[in-house]
Amino acid sequence: MTVALSVKEIASKIGEAIPQTVTSVADGSITVTSQHLFQVAKFLKETPGLEFDFLVNISGVDYLDYIEVVYHLVSLKHNHSLVLKTVCPDRDNPVVPSVVSLWRGADFLEREEYDLVGVRFEGHPNLKRIYLWEGFQGHPLRRDYL
């Protein structure tokens, strides 16, 4: 059975390793600041005992005040899972560091979120639109599009 790890423990572990990154712990997910996302993800992937080697999903959700990017992580070795979130308060220019160098599967997932929600992933080697054509204006999955 895939165990959803206790978020308070993980949050405290992250807090010891990389201080002042976790902003909130709620409801089965950990929220970190967007500048430190890459370091937290690297910590989660490489710490023995955690070893989240499998990225399941990246989603971008547009709450009207801010944009949230949600990462679902799973460890195939230990069979536990975690939800990692980050928040971009600036809706006109949301920037999040890319995790492609940690998990190659983030390649297409990040391109899709860039295309449809508008989040820019810094460090992505090929950030182009994937579904819509080049030159399309706007990001359709935002709540204020149409």
Site residues (CB under 8 A) for other proteins? Answer: 1-2, 27, 53-57, 59, 61-62, 70, 72, 76, 79, 83, 103-109, 112, 116, 130-133, 140-141
Q: How far is the CB of 117 from other proteins (least distance, A)?
A: 10
Q: Which of 102, 95, 93 is nearest to 73 (CA)?
A: 102
Q: How far is the CB of 16 from other proteins (least distance, A)?
A: 27
Helices 37-46, 7-17: crossing angle, 10 deg rounding: 110
Residue with Cβ nearer other proteins (12 or 57): 57
Residue with Cβ nearer other proteins (71 or 97): 71
Query: What is the b/e burial string over 6-29, where b = at least 16 CB atoms within 10 angstroms of the residue's CB?
Result: ebeebbebbeeeeeebbeebeeeb
Q: What are the backbone dihedrals phi and psi of residue 107, each rounded to the nearest 5 degrees, phi first?
A: -55, -65
Residue with Cβ nearer other proteins (48 or 133): 133
Q: How far is the CB of 19 from other proteins (least distance, A)?
A: 28
Residue with Cβ nearer other proteins (15 or 146): 146
Q: How far is the CB of 22 from other proteins (least distance, A)?
A: 19
Residue with Cβ nearer other proteins (40 or 116): 116
Q: What is the DSSP secondary-structure string of 38-104?
A: HHHHHHHHHSTTT---EEEEEEEEEETTEEEEEEEEEETTTTEEEEEEEEE--SSS-EEE--TTT-T
Q: How far is the CB of 15 from other proteins (least distance, A)?
A: 24
